[in-house]
Structure 1
Amino acid sequence: MSDFKLDPDKEYTLVLVKPDGYRRGLTGKILARIEQKGYAIVALRIVQATDDDLHEHYVEHRGKHFFESMVDFMQSGKLVAAVIEGTRVVEGVRSLVGATNPTEAAPGTIRGDYGRDYDSGQIQNLVHAADSPSSAAREIKVWFPDAC
């Protein structure tokens, strides 16, 4: 994997550029927006997600009506996992990402500028960002187990 280790005195979040973002060639633009805000990308990998990865990552959604279609979408192509560091990084990155529904996401956000509804029955919104420090810690362990 890598030599990267989390520093307990720093704040981190996890970002996934989802298969739709990767397929559309938006990975660089998405990560650049995060860097332009002043956050640091401290670990990065391109991966084809497994069932185990996604069942662990989306543990809070298991059993919900959309879970299986979400897993299918997340396995529809490669994704990019990134650990981002910075002060109040979880909250800051969530603000940059924008609303879950890309049609409703404000202009100036990643989803507002690059996302749209494809009427596919799945929310294809380009990017995932952890919603809390505890979620970020758990999710980082899924995608970067050697860092923890």
Structure 2
Amino acid sequence: MEKTYVMIKPDGVQRNLTGEIINRFEKKGLKLTAMKFLRLSPEQAEAHYQEHVGKKFYDGLISFITSGPVVAMVWEGENAVSAARKLMGSTNPAEADPASIRGMYGLDLGRNIIHGADSVESARREIAIYFQTGELISYEKNIDQWIYE
């Protein structure tokens, strides 16, 4: 099964959307295999956003993501990366499907509630920033037979 990394950003935590967001992923049929409530260090934030170093918005990203607590999660399922991206919606909430998380709760590009890995490779890299191998819990769910053929 594919794994993906998802983070509820400080604005999502401050707006009390954590439970709603987790619920959406569970109802989709993805399986939560790791979760942490934490405040990112500048080093974690820099590792997370390494591909944006040198861009004009980089300092703002680092400042925002370290401004309050986040919820870091690993979700598992068939095509987990693309399933999570669809649930989240477009990065720009103004362009997001109205039924997506960003479409329902986001108004501003810089405060778009949630982050999700954009590829399997990014998911592996991001999971490694926040979780050690032993923190990922592998388990079977009886409901899987009703989700996957």
TM-score range, shorter chain: 0.7 to 0.9
Give the alignment partner of residue 75 of structure 1, picking from 46, 51, 66.
66
Flag structure 1 segments of 5+ consecutive residues without an equivalent: 1-9
Q: For residues 1-148 of structure 1, what are the structure 2 equivalents within 5 Å?
A: 10-117=1-108, 123-147=110-134
What percentage of aligned pairs have identical amino acids? 44
More helix by share: 2
Hey, what's the Cα distance between the residues in 2 that align with 1:145 and 1:41?
15
Deviations 1:36-85 (A, max 9, x none): 10001110000000111011111111111101101100011000000000
Secondary structure of the structure 2 residue equivalent to 1:76? coil
Alpha-carbon distance between aligned partners in 2 of 1:50 and 1:21, rounded to the nearest angstrom? 18
Partner residue in 1 for 2:142: none
Which amino acid letter does the alignment assign opposite residue 36 of structure 2?
R
Matched letter for residue 66 of structure 1: F
Matches of 1:25 and 1:55, distance apart in 2: 26
What one-letter code is carried by the residue in structure 2 that aligns with 1:136? Answer: A
CA shift for structure 1 position 105: 1.1
Query: How far off its partner does 1:146 sit?
Result: 3.8
d(CA) in 2 for partners of 1:140 and 1:102?
Answer: 25
Number of the residue aligned with 2:139: none
Q: Which amino acid is 2:114 matched to?
A: V
When the two structures are superposed, what TM-score results if normalisation uses the length of structure 1?
0.88
CA RMSD of aligned residues (A): 1.2
Q: What is the CA distance between 1:145 and its match in structure 2?
A: 2.7
